Amino acid sequence: MPEQPSNTTRFQAFAAPARVLMGPGPSDIPERVLRAMARPTIGHLDPAFTSLMEEIKALLRYAFWTRNELTMPVSGPGTAAMECCVVNLVEPGDKVVVCRNGVFGGRLKEMVERCGGEVVLVDEPWGRAVDPERLEAALRAHPDARLVAFVHAETSTGALSDARTLVEIARRHGCLTLVDAVTSLGGAPLHVDDWGIDAVYSGSQKCLSCPPGLGPISLNERAVEKVSRRKTPVQSWFMDLNLVMAYWGSGSNRTYHHTAPVNALYGLHESLLMLYEEGLEAAWKRHYRHHLALRAGLEALGLQFIVPEGERIPQLNVVAVPDGVDEGRVRRRLLQEHRLEIGAGLGPLAGKVWRIGLMGYSSRPENILHCLDALGRVLATEGVRVDAAEAVRVAEQALAGPAVAGGAG
Ligand code: PLP
């Protein structure tokens, strides 16, 4: 018997601490979804599982507001869904316009380059939406571009781009479009078919309120044709949609491709069912309404949004850290003293902003009030002159007010 590599006697079941998740994701998971994931595992080729797969596809079509046949969850996080779309849609030598206004646009650029694509960058300042005129100019300068890729809701900065207009411009210039909807799906208006989006991907852990690890995608016929007519095989075997569709496609002759994460898919099904029960438009409105209440409270605390009004993601509120405040200490104190997670800044915004998410099941009145109360109290003891009670009061007032226009598609 070889010697044990380390002392394992101290190991025991992990006790997850209670948290309120108001960062950039994951968001709070409803009890219903957690319970669904605890159901007995069945075989992934079991006919009962096939029925579940069909329902997940149908519910995802609802969430994406599309009729696309090729709509399914990739077995992997949002980045895997992003990679799946890029490796399938980009061939060596393809010219691709990538709009970069934060971390995730930058990730798209790197992926396109790794696939041998030639990137034309439309670079925007962090904290701003993609400027449609700059996309138009780039496409005029590069009439041989084949694809336009951009992030709808840039989680690293809080900026929401006008996807409908960007897609319309791209189509006018004969390009396919690839849209990152990781943070927008289920939280802000997104009409895949009506806006003419060719390929879109998302993640399970944001406004769908499902644990991380699944990446829904949807491709229309134009995008599928591009994939099926490739001159070169997709470099990734696992991601090759021509192969994956034999597994996720309809019909009785489903064949083994990989072993789907069965219980994670129970969770996704349940969370999509909850979205369906609430109604997509009602969910968009809820996120918008709660954004307004949180915004009122954050402004009462003297905090300023870094994204101009009209370009903000309702479900991700990004505010500047007041001068002289240690941003990391405030976040640590929120977690330790108030069980509350909010997000830090990334890249050039590290140390300068907080990212406060109100996504999916996290987007509830009690979370808004808890966040304002906790943040107000912590800031007050960090030397900032704030009135937490007043912030809570204005948010309560906004929540009690009449229904607001906005947030609908
Ligand atoms: N795209 C955006 C806009 C995101 O916010 C994220 C994650 O935060 C991703 C892509 C990557 O998703 P994941 O972290 O699930 O891989």
Alpha helices in 187-306 (DSSP H): 192-195, 221-228, 241-248, 262-278, 280-300
* In the chain, % of residues over pLDDT 70: 96
The amino acid at residue 90 is V
Best of 130, 183, 202 for a ligand 1 pocket test (most atoms within 8 Å of beta carbon):
183
How far away, in angstroms, is 201 Cα from ligand 1 center? 10
In degrees to the nearest 10, what's the CA dihedral of 360, 365, 368, 369? -160
**Which atom of ligand 1 is nearest to 79's Cα?**
16
> Which residue's C-alpha comes closest to atom 14 of ligand 1?
78
pTM more than 0.95: yes
- pLDDT one-digit tens code per residue, 25-47: 999 999 999 999 999 999 999 99
The edge-to-edge listing of strands for the beta sheet with 147-151 is 70-74, 215-219, 199-201, 176-180, 147-151, 95-100, 118-123
Q: Do β-strands 153-154 and 159-160 pair in parallel, antiparallel, or remain unpaired?
A: antiparallel
DSSP for 390-407, please give it: HHHHHHHHHHHSPPPS-S
Cα 202 from chain centroid?
A: 6
Judged against a pLDDT cut of 80, whether residue 404 lies above it is answered with no
Best of 74, 75, 79, 315 for a ligand 1 pocket test (most atoms within 8 Å of beta carbon):
79
Supply 228's token pair: 């099926």
Judged against a pLDDT cut of 80, whether residue 165 lies above it is answered with yes
Distance CA 181, CA 149 (A): 11
406/193: higher pLDDT:
193
Cα 207 from chain centroid?
A: 7
Residue with tokens 């007519």: 229
Supply 231's token pair: 């001159």
The candidate with the shortest Cα–Cα distance to 295, out of 401, 170, 190, is 401
Give the 3-state secondary structure of residue 5. Answer: coil
Q: Which residues contact 364 (CB under 8 A, 6 or more apart)?
A: 290
Judged against a pLDDT cut of 80, whether residue 273 lies above it is answered with yes
**Which atom of ligand 1 is nearest to 154's Cα?**
3
Cβ(320)–Cβ(353) below 8 Å: yes
pLDDT in the model for residue 401:
83
pLDDT in the model for residue 10:
80
CB atoms within 10 A of CB 176: 24
How far away, in angstroms, is 182 Cα from ligand 1 center? 6
Distance CA 352, CA 355 (A): 10
Residue with tokens 């007050």: 380
How far away, in angstroms, is 295 Cα from ligand 1 center? 24
The candidate with the shortest Cα–Cα distance to 58, out of 192, 250, 214, is 250
Judged against a pLDDT cut of 80, whether residue 2 lies above it is answered with no
Judged against a pLDDT cut of 70, whether residue 7 lies above it is answered with no
Judged against a pLDDT cut of 80, whether residue 94 lies above it is answered with yes
DSSP for 340-352, please give it: EEEEEP-GGGTTT
Q: Which residues line ligand 1 (CB under 6 A)?
A: 24-25, 77-79, 82, 104, 151, 155, 180, 182-183, 203, 212
> Which residue's C-alpha comes closest to atom 2 of ligand 1?
182
**Which atom of ligand 1 is nearest to 151's Cα?**
3
How far away, in angstroms, is 384 Cα from ligand 1 center? 33
Best of 101, 154, 155, 178 for a ligand 1 pocket test (most atoms within 8 Å of beta carbon):
155
Supply 153's token pair: 């809701």
- pLDDT one-digit tens code per residue, 96-129: 999 999 999 999 999 999 999 999 999 999 999 9
**Which atom of ligand 1 is nearest to 205's Cα?**
15
DSSP 312: B
In degrees to the nearest 10, what's the CA dihedral of 100, 101, 105, 110? 50
Supply 307's token pair: 């994204």
Output the average pLDDT for the chain. Answer: 96
349/406: higher pLDDT:
349
Distance CA 201, CA 90 (A): 15
Number of helices and strands (H, E) in the chain? 14, 13
Cβ(395)–Cβ(296) below 8 Å: yes
- pLDDT one-digit tens code per residue, 242-261: 999 999 988 767 889 999 99
> Which residue's C-alpha comes closest to atom 13 of ligand 1?
78
pLDDT in the model for residue 407:
74
